[in-house]
Amino acid sequence: MKKMFFIVLLFLAFGLCVFAGEKKMSAGLGLEWNMDSRHNFAGAAAFGFTYNLPRDTAIGLNVTGSYNFFAIEVLEASVLFRSYIQDNDYTKWFAQVDAGVFFLFEDEEITPMPLLGFRFGYRQPLGSLFYIEPYGRLGYPFAFGIGLIAGISF
């Protein structure tokens, strides 16, 4: 089931790219330090996908997996709405709202919780294809996160 979901997602992403004629999407991977655990800080791997809409806005998906190096693992899956603060071709400063599900894995139990977050960051292009994106975020049920994503626009 998971493989089929990712195959459909990739097919849609690349199919939309063919018809777009310009760079409308981006995907990136990164690392994050956060407070996803109630007992300690956590390290995380993050994946983000965005699709640019008119007027310097974007929608997309975020997936973050965290581990507090002791016994707690977290998987976050959320949809995002992003607004670039300046009229600048989907780069530079942005504000973002995330909403989704937060899965806490502890003591062989899975606890799902609603997720709501606010992210602020800066997308710096590196040439015409690549970018880096430092960011900070606040929300529930996590307290904060600070990260860096590197990605590609297509």
Q: What is the pLDDT of residue 13?
A: 52
Phi, psi of 40 (to 5 degrees): -170, 170
Judge whether 91 and 56 are in contact, CB under 8 Å: no
The separation between CA 90 and the C-alpha centre of its own chain, rounded to angstroms, equals 16
**What distances in angstroms separate CA 82 from CA 85, 87, 123, one per listed residue?**
9, 13, 12
Whole-number Å distance between alpha carbons of 74 and 36: 7
Q: What is the pLDDT of residue 2?
A: 53
Q: What is the pLDDT of residue 12?
A: 52
Residue-wise pLDDT for 117-142, tens only, equals: 999 999 999 999 999 999 999 999 99
Residues 6+ apart with CB under 8 A from 111: 103, 104
Q: Retrieve residue 6's tokens.
A: 């990712």
Q: What is the pLDDT of residue 7?
A: 53
Whole-number Å distance between alpha carbons of 46 and 28: 8
- Which residues on adjacent β-strands are paired with residue 42? 34
Whole-number Å distance between alpha carbons of 78 and 61: 6
Q: What is the pLDDT of residue 17?
A: 46
DSSP annotation of 16: H
Whole-number Å distance between alpha carbons of 97 and 99: 7
pLDDT in tens, the chain (154 residues): 555 555 545 555 554 444 444 789 999 999 999 998 777 899 999 999 999 998 889 999 999 999 998 889 999 999 999 999 976 778 899 999 999 999 999 989 999 999 999 999 999 999 999 999 999 999 999 999 999 999 999 9
Sequence letter at residue 17: C
